[in-house]
Amino acid sequence: MKIGVGQINTRAGDFGGNADKILAACRKFAGEGADFAVFPECSVSGYPLNDLVFCGNFVAAAQAGLLELSKKLPLPAIVGCPRACEGGAGFRNSAYWVCGGVVRLVCDKILLPNYGAVNDARIFDPGENFGTVDFKNRRIGVTVCEDIWTLPSVPTAGRYARARKPLDYFSKPDLCGDGGVRIDLLVNISASVFSSSNDNVRRTGGLLCQVSKAVGAPLLWCNLVGGNDNLVFAGGSMYVDASGDSPKSECLAKFEEECRVVDTCTVSGFDGDSADYSGCADLRKAVVMAIRDFVRKCSMERVIIGLSGGIDSALVAALAVEALGSGNVLGVSMPSAISSGHSVEDARRLAENLGIKFHIIPIAGTVAAVEDALAPVFSGMPRDVTEENIQARARGIILMALSNKLGALVLTTGNKSECSVGYCTLYGDTCGGFAPICDIYKTDVYAISKLINETAGREIIPQNTIDKPPSAELRPGQKDEDSLPPYDLFDAILKLHIDEFKPASEIVRLGFDKGAVEDVVKKVAGAEYKRVQYPIGPKLSPVSYGCDRKIPVAAKKTLL
């Protein structure tokens, strides 16, 4: 059988645009002799939708788009679209078999995740029936995303201990109380959230192989690709047949759209291992896609980045150029009286290396004017962090004015290490519409920066930016390490505390310095108020701020 795998990048609410992508892919597939096509979860409506589903006629409009699409398709396709429950109360996340004006509901998503970064259970009711399509003498089982994440190897499978599971239905037809069926192919239309730790689904013995083996049939996993607010979907769709002695597979690209016909008769070999997660290279691709998609799905084109001469803003600028092209990126150096000479020079050099437009807008006048205005009130009080923050906020006001005047989005340059402890100024360097690296630890910021220079075969990120000790440059001679532990140690503590929810006591027991651990943990707790107002940024790690770590602000947190 020839299956068109439509790994498309959808936009929430853009029924017309999404349908156009589905239609274009299907025309290509038809030209290549495909029997039918498969598209990701909610491919007609976009995903995730969150409370858009509750908005007025949203779901009715999605359904109208689905019907319209079905009339134009040159071959049958499995697509995803939300639907209203019978009787009108509630919605379901559904898979359809569409062709020739016929829209046939195949199944609704049964297992609705409500953990980490997703809460499908908030907006959808669970499906109640299993779905198959009989086509050209084959029986195709159809599932939606989480529906196949129930094997014992999946950490979150326990959440569905009591649910009716599609994999039971399709894998144990004789045992399953639901009266299961044997199938010739299992299709899973998916929108699986990317994180640097969850990309072991494709490898030998990984989830997809396990599922194929369990149902005794090949599996076609069609995964969404693209960035949508704070979620990244990595694509990497896969046809895998592990039902026989040696697994066979065919993988689609990661982090880009790809629409490819897989001929199930000629698939040979197994490429899941080579398609697996590859550290910084994949993080880089994920961020580039996240920037491009956020900007374009907001109907914008250009971005502005404050260039401090430091590594964070340099990396964001380099990734923005990869995402949007150098003509769409403006770099701005905003030196103060305190800035070192190399700050402007490193920023200028970066801008030259990237070929982006570059402005120098000094902030000394603004800082002086603010301090003058406050002098009557501050008279007799010592200088402190207030004056440091005034500098950062003067830069914020300049960047936002440029954003307003030029119609360009400000990218925020903070990394996960500094977000963790609040080593940033609210309304200062936190200004912006999107924070591309806010879920990347500082040590990885360096690693990706070096990778960018390596793969370019020349200096993109200035070597001096990589070599010099990091500094916020908000007071003379300031260095990050005056306030924070060395980044190797700092990030190791943070990963245990944030990504694994370990308390200080346990981290100390693992051999880390008690003073450093308690200082970091205390700062993390104290910075929640900054993070609740932080711009959206892509989830890349197992536990990102914002989407999968929800901590009250007005709380006592001494025990964390």
Which residues, 459 to 518, sit near a copy of itself by CB under 8 A?
Answer: 501-506
Q: Could you say which residues in the range 167-226 bind a copy of itself, by CB under 8 A?
A: none
State whether residue 236 is helix, strand or coil.
coil
Q: Which stretch binds a copy of itself (CB under 8 A): 21-29, 309-317, 509-517, 529-537?
A: 529-537
90 binds a copy of itself (CB under 8 A): yes
Element holding 380 (H helix, E strand): none
- Site for a copy of itself contains 24 (CB under 8 A): no
Pair 81, 44: CB distance under 8 Å: yes
Q: What DSSP string runs through 484-527?
A: S--HHHHHHHHIIIIIS---HHHHHHTT--HHHHHHHHHHHHHT
Q: How many C-alpha atoms does 554 have within 13 Å on its Cβ side?
A: 0
Residues 220 to 259: which contact a copy of itself by CB under 8 A?
227-229
Q: Which of residues 101-120 bind a copy of itself (CB under 8 A)?
A: 114-115, 119
If we measure between CA atoms, which residue out of 504, 506, 502, 498 comes closest to residue 549? 498
Question: How many residues are given for the chain?
Answer: 560
Alpha-carbon span 534 to 529, nearest angstrom: 9
User: Active-site residue 109, yes or no?
Assistant: yes
Facing residues of 409 across strands? 303
Taking the complex as a whole, the smallest distance from the CB of residue 381 to a copy of itself amounts, in Å, to: 6
* Cα separation, 186 vs 262, whole angstroms: 14
Min separation Cβ 26 and a copy of itself, Å: 21
Q: Does 67 bind a copy of itself (CB under 8 A)?
A: no
Task: Pick one of 2, 17, 104, 523: the residue that binds a copy of itself (CB under 8 A).
Answer: 17
157 near a copy of itself, judged by CB under 8 A: no
Total binding residues toward a copy of itself, as defined by CB under 8 A: 93
Task: Report if residue 86 touches a copy of itself, rule: CB under 8 A.
Answer: no
Separation of alpha carbons 84 and 105, rounded Å: 12
Per-residue DSSP letters for 116-166?
TTEEHHHH-PPP-S-EEEEETTEEEEEEEGGGGTTSTTSGGGGGGTTS--H
Q: How far is the CB of 545 from a copy of itself (least distance, A)?
A: 11
31 or 90, CB closer to a copy of itself? Answer: 90
Q: How far apart are CA 327 and CA 181, in angstroms?
A: 56
- Report the residue from 129, 404, 455, 463 that binds a copy of itself according to the rule CB under 8 A: 404
Indicate which residue of 42, 99, 107, 145 is catalytic.
Answer: 145
Span near a copy of itself by CB under 8 A; candidates 210-218, 239-247, 342-350, 545-553? 545-553
| Contacting a copy of itself within 286-305 (CB under 8 A) | 293-294, 297-298
Q: What are phi and psi of 332, to 5 degrees?
A: -130, 120
Window of 6-14, 145-153, 168-176, 508-516 that interacts with a copy of itself by CB under 8 A:
6-14
Catalytic residue (choose from 21, 26, 41, 495): 41
DSSP helix/strand/coil, 154: coil
Per rule CB under 8 A, is residue 379 in the interface with a copy of itself? no
Q: Is 40 in the site for a copy of itself (CB under 8 A)?
A: no
Q: Quick check: 21 and 8 in contact, CB under 8 A?
A: yes
What residues are labeled active site? 41, 109, 145
